[in-house]
């Protein structure tokens, strides 16, 4: 799957999240970031819930998360090795920092893909997140704001 398609799918996933889509795609205020932060902070708990509900989807998440961890750790190792070799031998060993940056970047990208699996499980209502239940004040504030916007534009709320 191409990177553009993955980015497009991620944007669609956030847009399709109940009551959050209109808020996240149009503008990003403090409450939106807070809810997204709460959701990402729950990733470990959500992955455990996913493991209990659907092993196949969990295995996809776990594979991507493991690949991400491996790439990041290899990137950090290459960076340290590059720094040590630079001080010991030649400044040309600093070129290894480019390689480590690539590995770390790929690891971060793979982490996002792993998190997208969790978000998709939320979308199909396979698992539920406490961050989306409205227990946090920012969640309630975002829901109220969205309902006010929908009432102002004449749209019905979901």
The domain locations on the chain are 52-142
The proportion of the chain whose per-residue pLDDT surpasses 90, expressed as a percent, equals 37
Is the pLDDT confidence value at 4 over 70? Answer: no
**Whole-number CA gyration radius for the chain:** 20
What is residue 155's three-state secondary structure?
coil
Task: Give counts: helices (H), strands (E), the chain.
Answer: 7, 0
Q: What per-residue confidence (pLDDT) applies to 19?
A: 43
User: Which pLDDT score, from 0 to 100, does residue 134 have?
Assistant: 60
Q: What is the pLDDT of residue 101?
A: 95
The reply to whether the predicted model has a pTM over 0.75 is no
- Taking the C-alpha atoms of residue 119 and residue 46, their distance in angstroms, rounded to an integer, is 9
């Amino acid at each position: 799957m191409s990177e553009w398609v993955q980015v497009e799918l991620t944007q669609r996933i956030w847009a399709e999240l109940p009551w959050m889509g209109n808020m996240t795609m149009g503008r990003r205020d403090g409450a939106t970031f807070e809810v997204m932060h709460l959701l990402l902070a729950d990733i470990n708990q959500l992955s455990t819930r996913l493991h209990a509900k659907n092993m196949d989807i969990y295995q996809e998440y776990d594979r991507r998360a493991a690949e991400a961890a491996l790439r990041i750790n290899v990137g950090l190792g290459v960076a340290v090795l590059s720094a040590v070799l630079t001080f010991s031998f030649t400044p040309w060993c600093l070129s290894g920092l480019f390689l480590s940056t690539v590995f770390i970047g790929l690891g971060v990208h793979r982490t996002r893909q792993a998190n997208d699996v969790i978000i998709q499980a939320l979308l199909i209502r396979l698992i539920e997140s406490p961050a989306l239940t409205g227990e946090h004040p920012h969640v309630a504030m975002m829901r109220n704001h969205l309902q006010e916007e929908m009432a102002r534009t004449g749209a019905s709320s979901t």
